[in-house]
Amino acid sequence: MKRAFAFCAILLVCWSSKLACAQVKADTGGVAIGGNVSSSTINIGVRPEQLAALVQQSTDLSESQKKLITHLEGELDLNQRQVRAALDILGEKDIPPERLAAKLVEIAERFKTLQAIASAQPGDNLEIIASKSEAQKAIDAGELIKADAVLADVEAQQNQALDRFAANAAATAAQRGDIALARLRYSEAAGHFAKAAAMFPPTSAHQDVRTDYLTKEADALFSQGNEFGDNAALSSAIVRFRSLAELEPRERVPRDWAVIQNSLGNALEKLGERETGTERLEESVAAYRAALTEFTRQRAPLDWAVIQNNLGNALEQLGERESGTERFEQSVVAYREALTERTRERLPLKWAMTQNNLGVALEQLGERESGTERLEQSVAAYREALTERTRERVPRDWAISVGNQGVVLIVLARRNKDIAMANTALQQIEAAIETVNAAGDTYAAAFFKARLLEAAEVPQTLKGH
């Protein structure tokens, strides 16, 4: 039985094309605007040909044309500069003469609306208030290009402020996620981290922070699935890790991409362990091998060893579901590779964990092969693990390795017809059951109890021979 899993572990003004209810008093030449002003029947006291001439000649006006502009000031309720600006705007567009009056009235209405748009709002700082005042002066002067440029600066300042507020709100949500993690409330934590990430659009300048929050969400979902048997959470974690791999492509951030591949492999391997079939486990192997293309032994020896151990886990489980010995052989290779860097001197308990895993793979090989060589190698691997996994230091891990070794010894005893070895194996399995029960590990206890029932018959069988 294997009990070893390792993990490696950012002021828009919208115009409507229609106003509400147009009313035009053509009898007096006065205009009251409140709706769609596209009608060509609007009368502003200026003939179409006169208006067309004004539009075409915005400079060096004749006295009569100047009088027309004065007349338009009163009709349109604009100042002279605004009227001249409106005429310039019409001159930039190819508008038929019969529609010039209507469009001029429309522009006049826009100017009236503009009188209010640049006013100060609650929460504006002094700099924004000053800028809005400058924009208002530009509007009064008919300088719409300047007003737009000033308001573009205001918009940029406000967006920066919104960005800061969003970043602060996201940080607070993430802090709540960290509190939930400390309380082992992983689903709740994932929700907080997802909320933090949602504060930023995908193209945000805070993309790295957003990705960090998304990674924390995925990790929290994995913890929920791994520790509480929540397969739905594991499935969600897999989706998140795959999305992260696209956000953090190998071409741009190779190391981060490789970390994500390892995390994806962990989630797939855990879900594959609980499901029937081999698809998840195959995908897990592929993810680990992808991670190893960046985490090489030369670049990052200890990380490379972690992933080799993880790869060995997935291959060993595939071997259990497939016939033959190829997967077990590959698993043994992966574990032995890991042990070249995950040494006893560097990481004694990690080294012992990998020795235990190696013992599992060798045991599986030995049971499918004739002879006893692989089984003896398995016993030796467990013996090595137990030099660091002592009962006093890590009682549960000690029980796992002692029980695993007992299971192998039963197989060896049967093949060697060794009653003493069979009795030793029984004692080891019983000791393992006692200790894992005390540790509250019901899964391990059930596993070893089933092995004990099988093992109990071996001494009697051997005596009969």
Structure confidence by residue, pLDDT tens digits, 37-86:
333 346 687 887 887 887 776 667 778 878 888 888 888 888 888 888 88
| Residue 440 covered by a domain | no
The answer to whether position 301 is within a domain reads: no
| Residue-number span of the structural domain to which 45 is assigned | 18-117
pLDDT for the residue numbered 20: 29
| Residue 9 domain flag | no
Half-sphere exposure of 150 (CA within 13 A, CB side): 21
Instruction: Please tell me the total count of domains within the chain.
Output: 1
Q: CA-to-CA distance for 314 and 310, rounded, in angstroms? A: 7
Burial-class residue 355 by CB neighbours within 10 Å (0-12, 13-18, 19+). buried
Residue 211 in domain: no
What lies within 8 Å, CB to CB, of 188 at 6+ separation is 177, 180
DSSP structural state of residue 23: E
CA pair distance 257, 158, nearest whole angstrom: 35
Helix (H) or strand (E) holding 24: strand 23-24
Give the whole-angstrom CA distance, residue 217 versus residue 201: 16
Q: Tell me how far apart the 2 most distant CA atoms of the chain are, in Å.
A: 131
What residues contact 69, with CB distance under 8 A and at least 6 apart?
54, 61, 80, 83, 84, 87
For residue 32, the SS3 value is strand
Beta strands in 59-193 (DSSP E): none
Task: Provide the pairing of β-strand 23-24 with 31-32.
Answer: antiparallel
Sign of CA dihedral 211, 212, 215, 220: negative
What CA–CA distances, in Å, run from 370 to 322, 330, 361?
A: 18, 19, 15
Phi-psi region of 229 (alpha: psi -120 to 50; beta: other; left: phi over 0): left
Buried b (16+ CB within 10 A) or exposed e, 356-382: bbbbbbbbbbbeeeeeeebbebbbbbb
In the predicted model, residues of the chain with pLDDT beneath 50 are 2-41
pLDDT at 22: 29
| Contact (CB, 8 A) for 382 and 359 | yes
pLDDT of residue 42: 60
**Measuring CA to CA, which residue among 371, 456, 440 is closest to residue 406?**
456
Tokens describing residue 75: 């009709």
Structure tokens at 396: 């549960």
What's the CA gap between 261 and 222, in Å, rounded?
14
pLDDT in tens, 135-161: 888 888 888 888 888 888 878 887 788
How far is CA 271 from each of CA 1, 141, 229, 265, rounded to the nearest angstrom?
Answer: 17, 69, 9, 10
- 56 lies in a domain? yes
Task: Report the SS3 class of residue 296.
Answer: coil
Q: What is the DSSP letter of 20?
A: B
Buried b (16+ CB within 10 A) or exposed e, 162-172: eeeebbeebee
Is residue 347 assigned to a domain?
Answer: no
Return the DSSP state at 70: H
**Residue 242: count of CB within 10 angstroms of its CB:** 17
Q: Which amino acid is at 236?
A: S
**Which residues, 6+ apart, have CB-to-CB distance to 299 below 8 Å?**
none
User: What pLDDT is recorded for position 10?
Assistant: 30
In a domain, 113, yes or no: yes
Question: Is 54 among the domain residues?
Answer: yes
CB count in 10 Å sphere of residue 345: 6
Residue with tokens 């040909």: 49
- Find out whether 358 and 367 touch, Cβ atoms under 8 Å: no
